[in-house]
Amino acid sequence: MWYVYILLSIAFPHQEYTGASANLKQRIADHNAGRSHHTAKFAPWDLIWYCAFPDKLAALAFETYLKSHSGRAFAKKRLIK
């Protein structure tokens, strides 16, 4: 299984991060430990949404969509808050 997830920074509540991983628990631990260049400065992170996909290609396609302008609007309206 592959997972697409959305994180919210605890220290900076306006910062969100969308990602994909085959190992969700480990990936969140990596984000919180500062092992990801893009998220280290906004750690710690809280998982606010995730979805499982049967294969990598479907997960990466949905992650790409969520990072687009219309995907961010969809996430705000339907997935979070």
pTM attached to this predicted model: 0.95
Q: How far apart are CA 21 and CA 56, in angstroms?
A: 8
User: Tens of pLDDT along 27-51?
Assistant: 999 999 999 999 999 999 999 999 9
Q: What is the pLDDT of residue 41?
A: 97
What domains does the chain contain, in order, with CATH numbers?
2-79 (3.40.1440)
User: Tens of pLDDT along 3-13?
Assistant: 999 999 999 99
Largest pairwise CA distance in the chain: 33
Q: How far apart are CA 22 and CA 29, in angstroms?
A: 13
| 81 pLDDT more than 80 | no
